[in-house]
Structure 1
């Protein structure tokens, strides 16, 4: 790239985030689908609510309740959690009150960073989320922008002064809290016992905080030499004197430090001359668990050329935005959610080095390390309390990642899971559940029950990535572990009935030994192993896995269908006797969400549940017994023997021992959206995609604009804003994006690659009432795909369905098609690229589909179906 072009990109990036006035350089282009919310969402906003949103290009702005809103600014080696007014309340529960502030995995560095101008502490009047940055309007012509460059253990804070005040006295307070991500507040030992006091010094330019004898160090500095400094136990800006959170509830509505806190503080002061055109001053926070030299190197890198670092971050996030661009004229809210969901996934990528791996037996043991891992890279589950490595979270998020074209991050996540699992579990094949970035494995060692579902799902995640990339090398790298994983899961079958014992996604007492979701994902995992084995020529494994999957698939429905007026599957089977237990958990939809691969002999491709039963249970789950204003309940309502009673309606006559739980998780709504799409029920799917999009983009609902949270507003949870900072769900949770990206790309646009065996299918389904949907730069292998699906002339005779596919560098035999608008629709003629062609009419779970072979060449193809 030429120096001139670098300068243009840099200036445009700085202008986009308000840190520089652009001369003649063009601004970064805004995504056409992120410029407005849907009309229905705009109309739902209450004028009296006080919430304000501004959507300018790639930004979302909020002005109300800023002190109550958590914010996150994230890079792969460093992140920051604070509040939208510029304060840093004590946050989180894993490390009580310590999950906020500034972190570089695996340690925390600071509780916070505060600024004052001419003796007055700055408080934000508005807060803006952008692609890879956050910005605050601090009043008086001052803006603050936080950016975390990737690849460095440092974050940048830029203060932009607009020039209305020619001379400014600037004060910066910083308060340290050097501690490790583990142990937690409730483990043995606890963080209270192991956290050591910090010390603070001034090196002539920067504040340096250290914790000895650990080699933890944090630095705060700028490109300027301060005029003065102070050191002491406080220095929390307007949060002095600090309110310390108690060890147990009740807690005050807001506190400033956790009970295990042993940090210290410092202050830097500067006198700034501000020209009429304004001036930006850059500060950096940096740190390391490898001593002061590493921390100083990180600080120097961040401050060497902050403008270039910001431009690089902006360019990286524009590249994320430029993949999987969608145009959904009939559902602009969902299109906007696709854009922000891609950014949420990019935010979630983390990296840690030199992990010393040990199993803590749910926080009760501290054995010697089972091994070390030089580098771990993963998609973090959620902020601020779950920015760690999880099995099941990543396996759901894999579907969103491939749809977004982010192959590298999910590949790294799966490699990390494999490495940790093999070292801690001695190559048994069992997948660990939860791993902190220092190497502590909280749950999922060989001698613990673990979660069987994530071991069964691992091979499917590998096969998914292989199908979208066609990368046989990646398949081969994780093949051995995938085979061992599915064999381990199948082996957890004490009564030999084919259904593995162990926990699934619902970790609740009172369930039977054999869980519905575990059974469904085991069948899918076996089918995926069979497909990978066949492609490798491993006939013995392919035959074994096919036989195992076929036997279970053939008896699954009889084993788990509960029926009657439940219209649903049993949540689990209780031994002895495989007694069906019906408890209304959200996992009742997993047999409809889990799809088997095509091409495995003897196994039907597509979702596990038969169409008739799927329609029956989907309709039941759309009722008020299972759904609230923002999606699927964790546990539906109905008759129960639990002393809490039934707080909601009853839609069946079965008395469950489990109480209802009307919390709405973004994952549950995602699974529901995918299940609906698997059966072509796109009108019903839109309810769930809208639910997840609204908690991300509706100003009456969001906590952090643009971020998909863990739990939506719901009857038994309230909302994150109704909780104190110590008891909220994650403000950003990666797995909810599954319910946005996959329904659009894989179901509505119909992109179904199987590049590992040289096949690609594109069979779109237009949602009811919509005339056009499109996606461009959908990444497949080393190339990309553009898809446009249109409908004209109605759904009766004379109506036309058109599918346009343009592929660039995507190999394989292409099948192009469309889902007909209704069962029984007649086809008058079919043409490909203007020539009438033969076609296949195929009945799938989505309905009646027209399939046409379009050969193996690249370029553009247009399929036209005229209805008879």
Structure 2
């Protein structure tokens, strides 16, 4: 994984037939967006962070090219260059001094490249531009997948009317330390770093004197001078046990001429020989590896490529796909899969992976989805022997949290959708028994009178709801319902047919129970938890005794305690009611989950979604985590709301929540979506893509494949503001399909093209209103159809009705064009 810098000319590939000119858009102040070829450029707030990403090594810096002291998990340490499970460098800097080289005497003033004029990202490449007296400098970086290193190129252009003699400075400061908890949980004592100059490779090599950790840095040109040691006159020094290496190179640039310098940073978590070999390989194959990385990211852009008259979603959709690849983390012998986010969560999580897997398969990134789920299952089988899914896997191999109950049904759901898209029979065989055991573990955690609603830790990671064994939470119940239906489909696919009817029956029991026992008609919402006064009080007492409690914990307990006091006052004469379980409304974002999963009845869904859309629950950036206890917004709840709205054909509302995520595109790292909206937490977060990619593909386009059975369903339902949109090169198993929808007040045209004639295709169209089309044709020929009316509100309200039309399934064609004319 190396960062390579190269000027870009993005290949359009198969899109040459579709795209004829670059499109430049500026939906955000100070940010310029270009599509086909893709780039995003910023000239303000350059103190914000970005990542140069490879799946082995990545670098986190500011858009000025500085390495600020950021981080929560390891305070002040999460920027720099990382080769998990170790850090390589606190940072690296470039500088320019004017005049010829001198062997003796003080160094001339160094103009360090730490104040940029602009920052730009393209698929697989980052570019930072600086202006110095008479000189333009462009810094280009690349992360190279599957290699322990990054590459950087400097392009220097002389603006003077005379030749320039320059000294180019390359300074790096090592910090060969372990990732979070390494020193506390593993036998890793941070020793002092030492360094030497390797004349044969013309680079500085540093190593940790206690642990096997190594880093090499240098250029493809020999330096004129070398200095090793921490010299405060050169650049600010960082804390820790690192050491600085300073390489100086002499350049002569003729009038109006240009020059380039190419740098390599390589590391190893095992041996100096490996680090040396990586450095040599990157040095010798600089441009080849750079081009390979650019092409890898370009392929992601071109696969499942959205073209839409919604410019914001089209832009966010493309960058959401690229974000996913930026977050792949490969640590040999430990794990491989998508990490949660940067800078603070560069390892693997259960919840994050299970949501992100849906975005991965829908965008054609099958391999990363498969490896991510296999990684979770592998570590879960090692640590847990009960079918539960681990929550947090560190790159050191340590399981920091062995799992939350909700992650089991989420895992089953993710496996189902990944199998639907890939048709990977080996994956199904490998994962099926684990899914069966997992859901049985969930069902075994239920009480006799709770209709299969399990007690455990859910989505809300608060002290109140995560204490002890947790509560019966709404999200666990709803995801269990959905997972039972998903497992029934997997059971049928693998031939375990005897299990199917039982799984359906259990799912319906949960659905009926939650829609009756958990619904609060006076609130038009489901309760967050299902418990008794005594159980909640006992949990609170244990939590207070456990201590210490932070202000946020106390606020949470006080809110619930006040609610319990009101209830107790109302029922003080009824001892039975204090012992009985019933729903409690805590107003957490999990209120949306019954709609996301389709568990809620249509009547309950309409009432609940209407309240959640109100100013009480939804702010300027989307759904609050909790309007009373934690009125902040994160991208995942917005994604859940988008999926929930779409589940009940409320596409305009679904689009609103996807827009909430998309509008954060320029807030920190342009092209990435922060964990906390608009610009808090991790500056790039994997699960953010779920709320953009999944609603577009699964709901708006209504595209749902079943690769194992060679079937696809394509029944789009566009938001009212969408008129035309296409998805190009949609990956379906080993095939690829082209999807297009165009609608007007007079007609709608739905087109699917494929080279694989074996697929059975179900076509249809969904619209608001119940006026039937006067003519329906397939490839110009009249075709029979059937329709189904749905209701977005009360069944007697004709203004809130819609209709889904479907024609008989067919196969054997290369092009399917369904045309509805009103």
Scaled to the shorter chain, the TM-score interval is: 0.7 to 0.9
Question: Residue 518 of structure 2 contacts residue 582 of structure 2 at CA under 8 Å; is this kept in 1?
Answer: no
Shift of 1:181: 1.4
What residue in structure 2 maps to residue 415 of structure 1? 374
In 2, distance between residues paired with 1:398 and 1:577? 39
How far apart, in 1, do the equivalents of 2:225 and 2:312 lie? 50
CA distance in 2, matches of 1:849, 1:531: 24
Q: Is the 8 A contact 2:6 2:153 kept in 1?
A: no
Q: 1:150 aligns with which of 145, 148, 156?
A: 145
Q: Which residue of 2 aligns with 1:481?
A: 434
Q: Which residue of 1 aligns with 2:191?
A: 196
2:584 is aligned with 1:581: yes
Q: Which moved more, 1:412-421 or 1:57-66?
A: 57-66
Q: 1:608 corresponds to which residue?
A: 599
User: Partners of 1:845 and 1:529 in 2: how far apart?
Assistant: 29
Aligned to 2:268: 288
Q: In 2, are the aligned partners of 1:766 and 1:790 still within 8 Å (CA)?
A: no
Contact 1:405 1:779 in 2 (8 A): yes
CA deviations 1:275-299 (Å, max 9, x no partner) are: 5542221111111110111111111
Is the contact made by 1:380 and 1:734 (CA closer than 8 Å) also made in structure 2? yes
Is the CA contact 1:16–1:27 (under 8 Å) kept in the aligned structure 2? Answer: no
Shift of 1:863: 1.0
> Residue 804 of structure 1 corresponds to which residue in structure 2?
751
* Corresponding residue SS for 1:224: coil
Q: Assess if the C-alpha contact under 8 Å between 2:701 and 2:717 holds in 1.
A: yes
Q: Given the alignment of the two structures, is residue 384 of structure 1 paired with residue 347 of structure 2, yes or no?
A: no
The alpha carbon displacement at 1:265 in A equals 1.2
Query: How far is 1:15 from its partner?
Result: 3.6
**What CA distance in whole angstroms lies between the structure 2 residues aligned with 1:552 and 1:812?**
35
Cα shift at 1:28 = 10
How big is the shift at 1:389? Answer: 0.8
C-alpha RMSD over aligned residues: 2.5
In structure 2, what is the equivalent of residue 129 of structure 1?
121
Aligned twin of 1:88: 67
Q: Give the secondary structure class of the aligned counterpart of 1:279.
A: strand
- Over 3 Å counting, the alpha-carbon distance change for 1:136 and 1:810 in structure 2 is farther
Q: How does 1:490-529 map to 2 (within 5 A)?
A: 490-495=443-448, 497=450, 498-511=452-465, 513-529=471-487
- Does the alignment pair 1:866 with 2:812? no
Task: Select 1:309's aligned residue among 266, 289, 301.
Answer: 289
Distance of 2:323 and 2:197 partners within structure 1: 37
Q: Which residue of 2 aligns with 1:466?
A: 419
Q: Confirm or deny that 1:233 pairs with 2:191.
A: no
Q: Deviations over 1:27-54 (max 9, x none)?
A: 999978983447xx45xx4xxxxx3536
Asked if structure 1 preserves the Cα contact closer than 8 Å seen for 2:158 and 2:164, the reply is: yes
Q: Is the 8 A contact 2:428 2:494 kept in 1?
A: no
Other structure's SS at 1:481 match: helix
- Maintained 8 Å contact 1:234/1:266: no
Over 3 Å counting, the alpha-carbon distance change for 1:28 and 1:326 in structure 2 is: closer
CA contact (8 A) 1:338 1:740 kept: yes
- 1:360 maps to none
Equivalent residues, number: 735
Pairwise mapping of residues 356-755 of structure 1 onto structure 2 (< 5 A)? 376-426=335-385, 428-444=386-402, 450-495=403-448, 497=450, 498-511=452-465, 513-564=471-522, 566-575=523-532, 577-594=580-597, 607-637=598-628, 660-697=629-666, 702-713=667-678, 719-720=679-680, 729-755=681-707
The whole-number CA distance in structure 2 between the counterparts of 1:176 and 1:762 is 53
Unaligned runs of 5+ in 2: 98-109, 533-578, 793-801
Cα separation, 1, equivalents of 2:8 and 2:364: 25
Cα offsets for 1:544-577 (capped at 9, x unmatched)? 323322322232211321221x221111111453
SS of residue matched to 1:338: helix
Give yes or no for contact 2:697–2:703 (8 Å, CA) kept in 1. yes
| 1:830 alignment counterpart | 776
Partner of 1:647: none
8 Å CA contact 1:404–1:741 kept in 2: the answer is yes
Mapped partners of 1:30, 1:95: distance in 2: 47
CA distance in 1, matches of 2:33, 2:688: 24
Tell whether 2:191 aligns with 1:181.
no
Aligned to 1:211: 208
Report if aligned partners of 2:137, 2:154 keep a CA contact under 8 Å in 1.
yes
Cα deviations by residue, 1:72-94 (Å, 9 ceiling, x for unpaired): 11011110001111111111011
Contact persistence 1:760–1:813 (CA under 8 A): yes
What's the CA shift for 1:785? 1.6
State the alpha-carbon separation in 2 of the partners of residues 235 and 349 from structure 1. 36
TM-fit CA distance, 1:754: 1.9
Answering whether residue 166 of structure 2 is matched by residue 168 of structure 1, we say yes
Deviation for aligned residue 1:829 = 2.6
- Matched residue, 1:765: 717
CA contact (8 A) 2:442 2:454 kept: yes
Closer, same or farther in 2 for the Cα pair 1:779/1:845, shift >3 Å? farther
Contact kept? 1:159, 1:281, Cα under 8 Å? yes
Aligned partner of 1:716 in structure 2 is none
Q: Structure 1, residues 138-166: CA drift from partner, whole Å, max 9, x if none?
A: 21211101101111000001111124454
Cα deviations by residue, 1:101-159 (Å, 9 ceiling, x for unpaired): 00112111000001111122112221112211211102121110110111100000111
Relative to structure 1, the CA distance from residue 52 to residue 759 in structure 2 (aligned partners, 3 Å threshold; closer, same or farther) is closer
SS of 1:788's partner is strand
Would you say the 8 A contact 1:37–1:333 is kept in 2? no
Query: Where does residue 565 of structure 2 map in the other structure?
Result: none
Task: Pick closer, same or farther for the CA change 1:856–1:522 going to 2, 3 Å.
Answer: same
CA contact (8 A) 2:205 2:217 kept: yes
106-115 vs 805-814, greater mean Cα deviation: 805-814
TM-score, L = length of structure 2 = 0.85
1:315, CA displacement in angstroms?
0.9
Give the TM-score, by structure 1 length: 0.81
Q: Rg larger in 1 or in 2?
A: 2
1:425/1:142 CA distance change after superposition, 3 Å: same
- What is the distance in 1 between the residues matched to 2:608 and 2:204? 61
Matched-pair contact (CA < 8 Å) for 1:236–1:265: no
Q: Secondary structure at the match of 2:665?
A: helix
The whole-number CA distance in structure 1 between the counterparts of 2:722 and 2:495 is: 44
Checking the alignment, whether the CA contact within 8 Å between 2:485 and 2:503 is kept in structure 1 is yes
The separation in 2 between residues aligned to 1:788 and 1:418, in whole angstroms, is 37
- Name the SS of the counterpart of 1:196 in structure 2: coil
- d(CA) in 1 for partners of 2:404 and 2:693? 26
Matched residues in 2 for 1:345 and 1:31: separation? 24
CA contact (8 A) 1:125 1:137 kept: yes
Q: Distance in 1 between matches of 2:377 and 2:63?
A: 38
Is 2:151–2:265's contact at 8 Å kept on the other side of the alignment? yes
What residue is the counterpart of 2:277 in the other structure? 297
